[in-house]
Amino acid sequence: MANRIKVTFQPENRVVEAGPGETLLDVAALAGIYINSLCGGQGVCGKCRLKVLSGEVEFSSRGIGFLDRKEVDEGYVLACQSTLKDRDVEVWIPPESRREEEQILMVDNIVQYGAPSSQEAGAAPVPVPYYEPLCHKVFLKLPEPTLKDNLSDLERIYRALAQKFPDVKWEADFACLRNLARLLRDNHWEVTALVHALDSHCHHVRSLEPGDTTRNAYGVAVDVGTTTIVAQLVDLKSSQVVGVEASHNQQARYGEDVISRMIYACGHGGLDPLKNAVVTTINTLVNSLVAGAGIQHTDIISFVAAGNTTMTHLLLGLEPCTIRLEPYIPTATRIPWARAAEVGLTGHPDALLHCMPCVSSYVGGDITAGVLACGMNDSPQLSALIDIGTNGEIVVGNNEWLVCCSASAGPAFEGGGTKCGMRATKGAVQKVRIRGDRLEIQTIGGGKARGICGSGLIDCMAELVAEGIIDQSGKFVRLDHPRVREVDGVPEFVLAKETESETGEPVVITEDDIGNLMKSKAAVLAAMKVLLESLGLRFSDLDRLYVAGGFGAHLDIEKSIRIGLLPDVPREKVLFIGNSSLGGARQALLSTHAYRKANAIARQMTYFELSVHPGFMDEFVAALFLPHTDQSLFPSVQEALKNRQREEALLK
């Protein structure tokens, strides 16, 4: 047997064994410890620093640029660039290298489509219209055959089903015939059919089991996010949610964003680890749901997954390589159903998996699910749905038409590409208030600051411009403010000094960070403006603006408008709809009609390619201002600014 090396991770004191040549990043994951790996282990982000306390590792020179001399002498290495040699090792993980539990949005304020009276986000849940789960169970008590009633066993089942569902044609999988004769006779002609109701005219019996098991029929709706995965357990008989669990997508060790995962998947042998990682994450959530609800895995007969196009491909083990390369073609947008077991998901052996349909390479099933969940496709009102992350996906339309686009917003909203940026995890600054020289910050978890997350950056930028510390082009103008300092000629605002932060390093927002954030917000606003104008519309024509996703849930509407991330529409028109990807997946789980509707939405949505639009770059440049170079687009912000100037003049 190959030499096994003991690796001890501190401060947990967790010990695992691994072989020579394995990276510390992989060994940490093996130990259930997740380390920041923004670049997926390529050695180019420097976020996976560990300190070797004893023993020795092979440290590739590739990572050396991220460590200074003192750190190297102290034993710091990059986990992804350090491989085990032949001796036991003990390492310490500094807090900033640890991927803490993210604020995961597990709730959805879905608007029930087809129920106009309740079309308000946050409205009390009402039964899903056309309630008929994609998969459900039907108990059959068959009459015993006689010489007069001598139908075959299968026809006898069809007849019983037709009596319960007179308008439906019935078919059965061939596998149902095996042992059917014995199954019926051994169980006094009482069996339960697992029914797949995808086609409204013709339902399929996928399997048969002895006795009445209709009480044990559950489904799982899954939001397959790039960063986090959320799973809801739903009782298919009562339509009640009986549990919800969430965790990091274990694919993160192969890259934090979609592009780095595509690159990994398309490298030699990269697809299987990525598929296994997402399947393992979902199965782990399912294990917790099953244990929490006191049910069996075999009680789960249906899964519905909603994810972006790349995540959907990776879950199904489909190569995502052509998604990334011009002309950006996915293997499929409308995905045929599959046996969940074939994909690797644990449930009933005949449980089925349906994926929410995608529109294009960059508008996926999560967005289709979002449209379904907010119901904009059923309303005559003009609505826009915006989902902001590293990509900003935007859908505009009503019950007659839907147009969508996707703009690359860069990593700033997710805490990347900024000096002290981090994801929305414990210790991230998420709220900032500046009044004169006074500064108040609020961190996730309430402890000392470790960095700043996307919504914190937006909050901070809005405060800086409101206080006149930066100007509308994002440049520092109040260099005399006690929290402003210059480092190597670059001004920065100090949110937490060395003595105030958790890491002993200051938490700052620099002029470059502000520039990056302005590019991100400009890309999103410009995309929405170009999309609307190409339809002959303006922001003021919108009746509703739905903001979806985890990042959206923590946004401050007023501040988002003040910096020009969201358009200046009356505030009551803006609705945060939470995790609408999960909400849409659950609707499809509970309603065949909803699933078919999602397919119709995906077919109906016209994808608008921004990259070839001649006006996009001009709009992008025009939006590189706070809130915008065309101030008339932001009348309420202008008004607030004037009022403030008036008040200040009076005080002088």
Task: Give the residues lining the site for ligand FES (CB under 6 A).
Answer: 37-39, 41-48, 78, 80
Q: How far is the CB of 28 from ligand FES (least distance, A)?
A: 11
H-helix or E-strand spanning residue 386? strand 383-388
Burial 606-633 (b: 16+ CB within 10 A, else e): eebebeebeebeebbebbbbbbbeeeeb
Phi/psi at 380 (5° precision) = -70, -15
Q: How far is the CB of 33 from ligand FES (least distance, A)?
A: 14
Decide whether 92 or 607 has the Cβ nearer to ligand FES.
92
Q: How far is the CB of 253 from ligand FES (least distance, A)?
A: 8
Q: How far is the CB of 8 from ligand FES (least distance, A)?
A: 20
Q: How far is the CB of 57 from ligand FES (least distance, A)?
A: 13
Across the beta sheet with 218-224, what order do the strands follow? 241-248, 228-235, 218-224, 300-307, 352-355, 338-339
Q: How far is the CB of 66 from ligand FES (least distance, A)?
A: 7
Neighbours of 206 (CB within 10 A): 20
H-helix or E-strand spanning residue 397? strand 391-397
Q: How far is the CB of 454 from ligand FES (least distance, A)?
A: 20
DSSP tag of 632 = G
Decide whether 46 or 114 has the Cβ nearer to ligand FES.
46
Question: Residue 138 pairs with which residues in a beta bridge?
Answer: 193
Burial 566-587 (b: 16+ CB within 10 A, else e): bbbbeeeebbbbbbbbbbbbbb
Decide whether 40 or 584 has the Cβ nearer to ligand FES.
40
H-helix or E-strand spanning residue 463? helix 454-466
User: Do 56 and 272 form a contact (C-beta atoms < 8 A)?
Assistant: no
Looking at residue 267, its amino acid is: G
Decide whether 37 or 443 has the Cβ nearer to ligand FES.
37
Q: How far is the CB of 267 from ligand FES (least distance, A)?
A: 15
Decide whether 7 or 561 has the Cβ nearer to ligand FES.
7
Q: Say which residue the tokens 């095996």 belong to.
A: 178
Decide whether 20 or 46 has the Cβ nearer to ligand FES.
46
H-helix or E-strand spanning residue 547? strand 544-548
- Which parts of 134-189 are beta strand (E)? 135-141, 169-172
Nearest to 553 by CA among 577, 535, 518, 569: 577
Decide whether 24 or 598 has the Cβ nearer to ligand FES.
24
Decide whether 97 or 119 has the Cβ nearer to ligand FES.
97
Decide whether 226 or 591 has the Cβ nearer to ligand FES.
226
Q: How far is the CB of 81 from ligand FES (least distance, A)?
A: 6
H-helix or E-strand spanning residue 15? strand 14-18
